[in-house]
Homo-oligomer: A and B are copies of this chain.
């Protein structure tokens, strides 16, 4: 199994351990004849619920040759999904899920800190070995 899909399942397991119910895997968002999941093919978004709270989770592996390019793709996808969700399901909160190692290393760099300050990205940090969520930001 490619690592990308592996992390998808890891986050799903971690969410279930944390008391969340998976409502959709993948979450399919349609707009003007396009299905975002089908069109993107790759990175799938999960939908999970706990009590009255529903979250959509974009899992980004950061396994590409350029972490900056991966950051751009993650950022673009996040903003696209956020706008679609605001229109169709305004009470869903969107999270970008990244590995603990990615958070502790690349995400501490100035370039990422700048992006995180400027935009309104919510992060979910997971430990891929323990298959648990270690942090929600904010």
User: Is the CB–CB distance between B76 and A109 below 8 Å?
Assistant: no
User: Is the CB–CB distance between A111 and B68 below 8 Å?
Assistant: no
A residues with a Cβ closer than 8 A to B are 31-34, 36, 39-42, 66-69, 71-77, 79-80, 83-84, 86-87, 109-111, 114-115, 118-119
A77's partner among B36, B72, B110, B111 (CB-CB below 8 A) is B72
User: Is the CB–CB distance between A68 and B39 below 8 Å?
Assistant: yes
**Chain B residues closer than 8 Å to A119, beta-carbon distance:** 79
**Chain B residues closer than 8 Å to A109, beta-carbon distance:** 32-34
* Complex: chain B residue closest to A84, CB-CB: B114
Chain A binding site: helix, strand, loop or mixed by DSSP? Answer: helix
Cα(A96)–Cα(B71), bound, Å: 18
Chain B: minimal CB distance from A45 (Å):
13
Chain B: minimal CB distance from A110 (Å):
3
User: Is the CB–CB distance between A36 and B68 below 8 Å?
Assistant: yes
* Complex: chain B residue closest to A114, CB-CB: B83
Chain B: minimal CB distance from A32 (Å):
3
**Chain B residues closer than 8 Å to A68, beta-carbon distance:** 34, 36, 39-40, 80
